[in-house]
């Protein structure tokens, strides 16, 4: 039976735990610190944060304060939109390492492909950022590099100058939006599909089909969706600030959703909201 410490192998042979703990919207300070500690206590060994979340300091402190060895934790952070470009990315990486109180992160991602600040020259700025990230990778500051919210044309553009293929593309993936074109493109490049908001930011929890199927399998709709994500080969990043829910979300390894029910869940596209178009976001 699988567990939280089972891993996928990235395209550079680095191992990444198959479920991560998300910290988006976990407020800096006591809330973020306690939620990460609760996640580590529950058995998570994969923690996901970002500069934009404003909580790297609390996440890093929680890891440092825990009884878990840093080398047993897979830690991700991300480049924010204001920091695209070669020199800015170099500084951003060093600032994140300082905030997280660590000398390396396991995964570093470009958070958005086309921020409004660089909309006129996003391709060049991504190429410059990627060059800085490749250098950080070779220097041992990061163990793997990747992207987030990239569509097919963003990937194709990046690959024109990249010498290292992204290891991960982290996207809004859940039963409401499977993003098949994006996930297929990732598979063609051997890029792992990571799923943020795997519960649709909680909006999918009240969908009757998911409640009914959860009851059928003796699990909650949250557990059902996380199991669905794993069966699609995704890496889900559930988030909570409540210790009991953090523990609850780990109960996803003792059942399998049958093919007919997987297809029924796939059919929920658009039930709540779908992914934002990264070329149109106003940040």
108 — phi, psi (to 5°)? Answer: -125, 130
* β-bridge partners, 15: 9
Q: Do the Cβ atoms of 33 and 73 come closer than 8 Å?
A: no
CA–CA gap between residue 233 and residue 18 (Å, rounded): 9
CA–CA gap between residue 50 and residue 22 (Å, rounded): 10
53 noted as active-site residue: yes
Three-point CA angle 22, 24, 27, nearest 5°? 115
* β-bridge partners, 48: 22, 76
Closest C-alpha to 171, from 247, 105, 109: 109
Q: In whole angstroms, how far apart are CA 82 and each of 121, 207, 253, 262, 283?
A: 13, 37, 39, 39, 9
Helical residues (DSSP H) of the chain, grouped into ranges: 30-42, 56-65, 86-100, 122-139, 152-158, 180-188, 208-217, 221-231, 243-248, 259-266
Q: Do the Cβ atoms of 211 and 4 come closer than 8 Å?
A: no
Catalytic residue among 53, 108, 172, 196: 53
Catalytic residues: 53
């Amino acid at each position: 039976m699988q567990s939280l410490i089972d891993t996928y192998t990235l395209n550079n042979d680095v191992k990444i735990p198959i479920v991560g703990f998300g910290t988006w919207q976990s407020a800096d300070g006591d809330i973020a610190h306690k939620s990460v500690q609760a996640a580590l206590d529950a058995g998570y060994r994969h923690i996901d944060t970002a500069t934009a979340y404003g909580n790297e300091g609390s996440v890093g402190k929680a890891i440092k304060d825990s009884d878990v060895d840093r080398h047993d934790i897979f830690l991700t952070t991300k480049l924010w939109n204001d920091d695209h470009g070669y020199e800015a990315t170099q500084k951003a990486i060093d600032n994140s390492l300082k905030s997280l109180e660590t000398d390396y992160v396991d995964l570093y991602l470009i958070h958005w492909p086309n921020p409004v600040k660089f909309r006129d020259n996003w391709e060049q700025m991504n190429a410059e950022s990627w060059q800085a990230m490749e250098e950080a990778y070779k220097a041992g500051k990061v163990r793997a590099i990747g992207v987030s919210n990239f569509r097919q044309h963003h990937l194709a553009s990046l690959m024109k100058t990249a010498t290292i293929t992204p290891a991960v593309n982290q996207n809004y993936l859940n039963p409401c939006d499977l993003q098949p074109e994006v996930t297929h493109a990732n598979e063609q490049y051997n890029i792992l599909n990571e799923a943020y908001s795997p519960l649709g930011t909680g909006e999918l929890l009240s969908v009757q089909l998911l409640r009914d199927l959860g009851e059928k399998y003796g699990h909650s709709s949250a557990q059902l969706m996380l199991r669905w994500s794993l069966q699609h080969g995704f890496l889900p990043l559930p988030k909570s600030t409540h210790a009991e829910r953090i523990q609850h979300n780990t109960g996803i390894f003792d059942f399998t959703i049958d093919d007919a029910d997987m297809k029924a869940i796939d059919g929920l596209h658009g039930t709540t909201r779908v992914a934002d178009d990264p070329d149109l976001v106003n940040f």
